[in-house]
Chains A and B, each alone.
Chain A
Amino acid sequence: MLLFLLTMACQQKKTSEGPKKMAIVVSTLNNPWFVFLAENAAAKAKELGYETKIFDSQNNTALESDHFENAIVSGYQAILFNPTDADGSVVNVQKAKDAGIPVFCMDREINSATAATSQILSDSFSGCVAIGKFFVQQLNKKGNYVELLGLVGDNNTWARSKGFHSLVDNYPNLKMVAQQSADFDRNKAMEVMESILQAQPNIDAVFCGNDAMAMGAYQALAGAGKANKVKVFGFDGADDVVGAIKDGKVAATGMQFPKVMAQMAAVYADEYLKGKRDFPAKIPVAVELVTKENIAHYTAFGKK
C-alpha cells in the first residue's frame, strides 16, 4: 500500500509537469453507438486542449480494471468513463478517485453515489414514460403486448422498463402477455419474438428496450406476416430505426444524445481540473420521443 501511494505521489508530480491528458474508457467499441460516444468525448477533450486516448473494455470488467490502472500510472488527469457493469465498475472508479483522478461517467450509471465525480446519464426512465404515453394513445388503452428487455444486469434495462410500466400499468385493459430478455441483441430479439409468436399469436404491440431489439422483433413479425398489425416501439435513436419510423415499420423510439453526454463529461472534467468542485452527483440528459410526425427533425444519435 505504501509503495502504491508513493508511486501515485511520484506520478502525480510527474503529470503536473507533463501534457494535459484525459483517458476515455468505454464499455465496447463493437457497437457504433459507443464508438460515437467515445469519439465525441475525445474530440471535445482535444478541443479543450487535452491529449486523449480511447480504451476499449470489450464489455469485460477485468480489462476495464487494467485500463484504469494504466490510466492512473500513465498520468491521465481525468477519466471520461462509460462503465461495463453498474456494480463491477465501482471498484475501478474508486481506485481512480483514491489516486486523485476524477471520473465522469457517461450514459451508463455505476451503483455508487460517491465514487464518480459526476454521472451524466440518459434520462431513460422519463424517455420511456414519453414512449409509454404514446404507446397507450396508439393502442387506445387496450390490447395485448410483449416486452423485450435488454441485459438483465444493466441498470438501463430496468430504468427503461420501469419508466414504461409506471405509465402503461395504469391501464388494466393493456395486457402484457410475454416479457423476455433479448440482451439488447437484434438476432436474439428475432429468435425470442419468433418463439413468443408461437404461443401468443394475437398481439397488438411490442415494446423493446433498445432499437436493435426493435428491428429484430420487426423482422420476426414480418416473417410471420404480422408487421402491419403489430406496432413496434424501440429506444436509442439508431440509424436503421430512424429509417424504419420514416417507412412506418416502427411506431416510435426514444432519441438519446450521446454527443451531449460526451461533450458535457469533457467540459466538466476540464472545469474540475481548473478548480471547480460543485458538481451534481447525477445529471440526466433528456430523451426525446420520435414518431412519424416529427421524424423529419431527427437523424441517428440526435438532431439534424
Chain B
Amino acid sequence: MKIVKIVVASIAVLFIGYHSIEIKKLDEVKKASTETFDALAFAHNFLEKTLPPSFSKAPSVATLLALLSKEPKKAFQEMSNAVAIGNIRYFLVKGEGQITKIQDDEIQVLLPNQTQPISVKLATEFIYGNAIRDAAGVFDIKQFTNTSDINNISAEINKIIRTERVPAFKKQIKVGDSIQFVGALEMNQEYLKLQNLEILPIEFNKI
C-alpha cells in the first residue's frame, strides 16, 4: 500500500513538474528577445507608398491660409491631423513658387496668390518632430503598442528627408528657380500664427 502511495505521489510530482516548466532552445529565446521593429523599413514604405496617395488631396498653402483666416475651426476640423491629443495639429500642404533665398537651414519660397504673394520657409535642416508622420492622417497609432516604435518612425522619416532628399534637391537649385513641393505644416490651434510659416518638405521638384 505504501509503495502504491509513493508511485502515485511520484507520478503526481512528475506530472505537475512537467507542466510547470517549458523548455525552449536558448537560441530561439535570444532570437525572440532581439527581434525589434524595423522603423527604417517602415519609414521608407510610409514615404514611398503610404503617403503619396494623399498628395493630390492636400490644399495649396494659399487655400489653407484663406480658410484659416476666415474659419479656423473648420480648417482644423477638416484639414488637420495629429496622433497626439492637444492643440498641436499638422496640415499636409502643397505649393508652387519661386526660390528667393537659399540659407543653411531653410529655403525661402515666394508663392503667387490672388491678393499678395505668400512667403514661406521650406526647412532643410531642422526637419524633426511628428509633422510629416501625422499630417496626412494616414498613420495609424493603433498598430503600435510600443512608445519607442512610434517615436522611432518619426525619427527615421525625418532622417530620410533631411539626409537623403534635401541634399539631393539643394544640389539642383538656385535662387530664381521655380519649384513645386508637398510638405507638412505645424500649427497650434490655440495660438494661431499665420506669418513666417515653416513647412517641412516631403517631396519637391524643380519645374
A positions within 8 Å CB-CB of B: 109, 113-114, 120-121, 123, 125-126, 129-130, 132-133, 136-137, 159, 162-163, 166-167, 257, 260, 264, 280-288, 294, 297, 303
- Residue from the list B126, B128, B141, B188 in contact with A280, Cβ < 8 A: B141
- Residues B146 and A113 in contact, CB atoms below 8 Å apart: yes
B191 within 8 A of A: yes
- Name the residue in A113, A120, A284, A303 with the highest tally of chain B Cβ atoms < 10 Å from its Cβ: A284
Report B82-137 residues with CB < 8 Å from chain A CB: 82-88, 126, 128-130
Given A113-B146, A282-B144, A288-B188, A260–B130 Cβ distance below 8 Å? no
- Residues A285 and B86 in contact, CB atoms below 8 Å apart: yes
* Alpha-carbon distance between A287 and B86 when the two chains are bound, in angstroms: 8
- Residues A126 and B154 in contact, CB atoms below 8 Å apart: yes
- Name the residue in A123, A167, A257, A287 with the highest tally of chain B Cβ atoms < 10 Å from its Cβ: A123
Q: How far is the CB of A285 from chain B (nearest CB, A)?
A: 5
Residues of A within 8 A of B155 (CB): 166
- Residues B130 and A126 in contact, CB atoms below 8 Å apart: yes
Residues of A within 8 A of B146 (CB): 113
- Residues B84 and A284 in contact, CB atoms below 8 Å apart: yes
Residues of B within 8 A of A159 (CB): 147, 151
User: Taking chain B's interface residues, is the majority helix, strand, or loop, or is none over half, making it mixed?
Assistant: loop
Which residue of chain A has the shortest Cβ distance to B89 in the bound complex? Answer: A286
Given A126-B84, A264-B85, A280-B141, A297–B191 Cβ distance below 8 Å? yes
Given A126-B129, A126-B130, A133-B126, A163–B84 Cβ distance below 8 Å? no
* Alpha-carbon distance between A257 and B129 when the two chains are bound, in angstroms: 18
Residues of B within 8 A of A120 (CB): 85
Which residue of chain A has the shortest Cβ distance to B154 in the bound complex? Answer: A126
- Name the residue in B150, B151, B188 with the highest tally of chain A Cβ atoms < 10 Å from its Cβ: B151
Which residue of chain B has the shortest Cβ distance to A114 in the bound complex? Answer: B145
B142 within 8 A of A: yes
B22 within 8 A of A: no
Q: How far is the CB of A107 from chain B (nearest CB, A)?
A: 13
Residues of A within 8 A of B130 (CB): 126
Q: How far is the CB of B87 from chain A (nearest CB, A)?
A: 7
- Residues B151 and A125 in contact, CB atoms below 8 Å apart: yes
Q: How far is the CB of A39 from chain B (nearest CB, A)?
A: 20
Given A133-B126, A167-B128, A288-B188, A283–B85 Cβ distance below 8 Å? yes
Residues of A within 8 A of B85 (CB): 120, 260, 264, 283-286
- Residues B83 and A284 in contact, CB atoms below 8 Å apart: yes
- Residues A130 and B147 in contact, CB atoms below 8 Å apart: no
